[in-house]
Structure 1
Amino acid sequence: MSRLLKRVNWAGITLLMLFSTLVNAANLPDFTELVEETSPAVVNISTEQTTTSSNRQLSPDAQELNEFFRHFFGQQPFGQQQQQPRQQQRQRSSLGSGFIISHDGYVLTNNHVIDGADVIHVRLNDRREYEATLVGTDARTDLALLKIEAEDLPIVTMADSDDLKAGQWVLAIGSPFGFDYTVTAGIVSAIGRNLPSDNYVPFIQSDVAINPGNSGGPLFNLDGEVVGINSQIYTRSGGFMGVSFAIPSNVAMSVVEQLKADGKVSRAWLGVLIQDVNRDLAESFDLDRPHGALVSRVMPDSPAEKAGLKAGDIIMAFNGKTIEHSSELPYLVGQLKVGTDAKAQVFRDGKERTMTIALAKRPDDAEVAQQKADENRLGMTVAPVSEQQADRLGIEGGVIVEQIMGGAAARNGLQQGDVITMLNGQVIEGVDAFNRIAQTLPSNRSVPMRVIRDGYPMFIPFKIVE
């Protein structure tokens, strides 16, 4: 009798487990219809580029790995030589994905897929192939708009990416490693991700398997709408590791409108250098918790300077949107049109105030870089030392190293967080004094710099090599 009861119990457990498995399987999405409906609007993109290279021929495996590193890391580990032998011209192809957004042939993809291409080929799901014209690119968002001469083409439907939430199912279609129309699926891991090298894109993070060749392809929701454009992966192994990033569809379509109209993107500019507010800074500024964007520097003749923003101000909200992390501010500013009067909620001297800022056109990167170089020859950005920090260190004035950009600062061993109190025998009263003294430093000769690091003061020799 006992054995019979045990058998009955095991049979019941087995049936229960089988029933649970069937229920869970029934709840999983079926992507077959979605794939059939959307695949015709997904395209394969290949390019031809005339490049100069050495006579030494690489193996096919090395060439493929070179292409992988070039697209995803900006590196090329194989084929580098210290001494360049005789040069020759050769053709190189890259491979990526894209999708059709209009019946008359506009195609959206990543900028890095077509960057430097002489010829761009677009191949459709039905094997029709067209040579595409480049309408325009935007390197900051890694987007490119192409045009092929065709009519009545199948198109994707663009979703409102602001409605996307973590945990939702998403699906990607692309050509990883050249395997056309490969389908992978997963969930949204997070939204609004800001990467160090991309201040203008609040990325969608997912665990959808993305590999070289998926770049520029669409990320769909369960309604078959494009919520993002697959752009980057995070990897330590060189392959997919469960962390993929896509450009939100709303960001992409905003860029598309400008590329169609002008072939380029113009962004509004505030003209400040900012940093995150950590716990210690929040305490030093008497904030209840860490949030906002701390202004470490105001660029000369910028919209911020004209509006009265100062170093040490904390921007708590911009145009009605609360700022939790400083990385959110560049995107909010960049989304606005040049000439817009924006409202900034600013925390200064323990009080909040609202300031109106007339946004201007962002200068070219070369102009910004030159301006930084002219104002600061030392290869770093600095911020004012707060009163609380000064009291703790027992100093008056000084500047804190905010960012090391290279050059003299890197060569002389300065570190982020160092507090500089003297330079070339002159006391540093603040950021303006620091920049003024930096302009007068001699080249190719060491000068004394007093630095406080981890609470300990010391002098270091500082030399600008020009």
Structure 2
Amino acid sequence: MNDRANSDTPTSRKILRPRRLALLGTVAALGVAVLAASPGSSTFGPSSFIAPAQAAESAATPPGFGDLVSKVKPAVISVRVRIDQDNDKSAMLQQNRMDQDGETPFDQFSRQFGFRFPGGPNGMPRQRHQMITGEGSGFFISADGYAVTNNHVVDQAASVQVTMDDGTSYTARVVGTDPKTDLALIKVDGKTDFPFVKFSDQKPRIGDWVVAVGNPFGLGGTVTAGIVSASGRDIGNGPYDDFIQIDAPINKGNSGGPAFDMSGNVIGVNTAIFSPSGGSVGIGFDIPASTAKLVVAQLKDKGAVTRGWLGVQVQPVTADIADSLGLKEARGAIVDNPQDGSPAAKAGIAAGDVITAVNGTAIKDSRELARTIATLAPGSSVKLDVFRNGTTKTLTLALGELPNERQAKANGGADQGREQPSAGTPRLGLGLAPAGEVQGAGQKGVVVTEVDPQGPAAQRGIQTGDVILNVGGKAVANVGDVRSELAEAKASGKRSVLLQVRSAEATRFVAVPLA
């Protein structure tokens, strides 16, 4: 009882572990002594401890990952870069800022965790023209020297050097980078016989073994093992987050290194860790092989990545939104606003439409829509299933090219808790006025002039100055219009009504309960 009560302290763990090992050793010794004393006994003979079938099964069990590691390890490289510190936009300098005190564990998701820096927040100030170095990992994907690593490992690098498992070093050049997925392609010229590995064509299952090889803390050729813990992780890193989570220990310097399945194929590229301390706590994130293959192919061909562009702002369909629209499931992405001149606007997609499928494949949410469209080539023709006014129709359009300065924004988790509630009735705790009567509010909709802090509107995040453009899919111009649409929605048996609300940040849809 005392052992269990005290086992949570570091000291007790150190004490209990040797005691348990000693106990196991005593039992093992006792078993040997009994067997030796009674070699012919039917009660204590060897066959009573290990059945023949069990012994055969034990002999057939692989002893470890040695065969796999010897096969793939030669293709894994350490990547060392030099960069001029004057470039304040460097990803490495951003990493240094991320490591400063006062950040929460989630601030330290360590997307850029592959570097060691001289000086720092607790050290001496750096000289302006000092060349700093960083270390990461990578792996060859072809015999002629193409290798994959992370964008944040080589971003803004003045020079790149790679070191193989046998200690041989080469100078590499950066072929292309993709910050949105944190992938980069580098090339070592002059040889055509490099060992290389391939990306897996299979999506790993939760619970499958995974082996990571890399250069943690500059210790090249380090191998760790674990399992696939989860998939489809969104850690708020970018618009296309779809990470594989693994528990194989990865640390600073593993950035850009491969994670292998038991066939020796790369299932993911190590890119981030969750770490309150800065070291591995068994939660790492990999860019899936399916994403890496698409990005790397474009980097090799063009040196950059082009993505399809739909031209809409979207948000997830919540249960309230689905109910207000008459959707059977809370799936798909609701369009907040099609951008002027975009492919979506030209095809007739309107605010309030719910995109439920792309080329016949169902869309789960706004992030999946963004990822799906991004994988398609600009100019390609796509079919979108769009739910509008209780019916679904299919629209065909040609995608544009995502501008470099523009990023497909899918308003995800952080916005879901800020649903901007209904306006127009005293029961919701809102005061309203026609937009034309409020300076700077424009001519369309009604402006929120007052919010009861105890009312349902305040609980949903509505703020003074927000403009309600339509209620239940119909434009409103005054308080009477709002009340009329709310009453109609309630009379029809709906539990919520959909509002289109324009705030200082953006235009968006919010489902408002009618209770």
- Give me the TM-score of the superposition, normalised by structure 2: 0.66
Pair 1:247-2:287 in alignment: yes
What is residue 125 of structure 1 aligned with on the other side?
165
CA shift, 1:34, in A, is: 0.8
Map 1:115-154 to 2 at 5 A. Answer: 115-149=155-189, 150-154=191-195
CA shift, 1:42, in A, is: 0.7
Partners of 1:390 and 1:285 in 2: CA distance: 21
Deviation string 1:85-120 (CA, Å, 9 cap, x unpaired) is 895421211111101111111111001111121110
Amino acid at match of 2:192: E
Which structure is larger by alpha-carbon Rg, 1 or 2? 2
Aligned CA distance change for structure 1 residues 277 and 74 (closer, same or farther; 3 Å)? farther
Pair 1:79-2:120 in alignment: yes
Partners of 1:389 and 1:353 in 2: CA distance: 32
CA shift, 1:303, in A, is: 1.0
What is residue 50 of structure 1 aligned with on the other side?
84
Q: Which runs of 5+ in 1 are unaligned?
A: 1-7, 54-61, 370-379, 401-413, 440-451, 456-466
Pair 1:33-2:67 in alignment: yes
Give the conservation status (yes or no) of the 8 Å contact 1:266–1:361. Answer: yes
Partners of 1:278 and 1:436 in 2: CA distance: 19
CA shift, 1:189, in A, is: 1.8
Partners of 2:243 and 2:125 in 1: CA distance: 42
Amino acid at match of 1:160: D
What is residue 352 of structure 1 aligned with on the other side?
392
Give the conservation status (yes or no) of the 8 Å contact 1:398–1:419. Answer: no
Map 1:73-222 to 2 at 5 A. Answer: 79-80=120-121, 87-149=127-189, 150-161=191-202, 163-222=203-262
Aligned CA distance change for structure 1 residues 136 and 156 (closer, same or farther; 3 Å)? same
More divergent stretch after superposition (327-336 vs 149-158): 149-158
CA RMSD after TM alignment: 4.4
- Give me the TM-score of the superposition, normalised by structure 1: 0.72
SS in 2 for 1:283: helix
What is residue 323 of structure 2 aligned with on the other side?
283
Partners of 1:388 and 1:75 in 2: CA distance: 54
Q: Of residues 336, 353, 361 in structure 2, which corresponds to 1:296?
A: 336
CA shift, 1:197, in A, is: 2.1
What is residue 58 of structure 1 aligned with on the other side?
none
CA shift, 1:196, in A, is: 1.8
User: Which structure has greater strand proportion?
Assistant: 1
Partners of 2:287 and 2:187 in 1: CA distance: 20
Deviation string 1:403-462 (CA, Å, 9 cap, x unpaired) is xxxxxxxxxxx9994235756xxx6435999999969xxxxxxxxxxxx9x99xxxxxxx
**Percent identical:** 40
Pair 1:269-2:309 in alignment: yes
Give the conservation status (yes or no) of the 8 Å contact 2:114–2:136. Answer: no
CA shift, 1:268, in A, is: 0.6
Aligned CA distance change for structure 1 residues 362 and 70 (closer, same or farther; 3 Å)? closer
Between the two proteins, the alignment pairs up a number of residues equal to 398
Give the conservation status (yes or no) of the 8 Å contact 1:211–1:240. Answer: yes
Give the conservation status (yes or no) of the 8 Å contact 2:116–2:133. Answer: no
Partners of 1:39 and 1:74 in 2: CA distance: 22
Pair 1:418-2:461 in alignment: yes
Partners of 2:373 and 2:234 in 1: CA distance: 15
CA shift, 1:217, in A, is: 0.7
Partners of 1:247 and 1:351 in 2: CA distance: 37
Aligned CA distance change for structure 1 residues 398 and 242 (closer, same or farther; 3 Å)? farther
Aligned CA distance change for structure 1 residues 160 and 438 (closer, same or farther; 3 Å)? closer
CA shift, 1:27, in A, is: 4.6
Amino acid at match of 1:152: D
CA shift, 1:28, in A, is: 6.1
Deviation string 1:286-316 (CA, Å, 9 cap, x unpaired) is 2223211122222111111111112211111
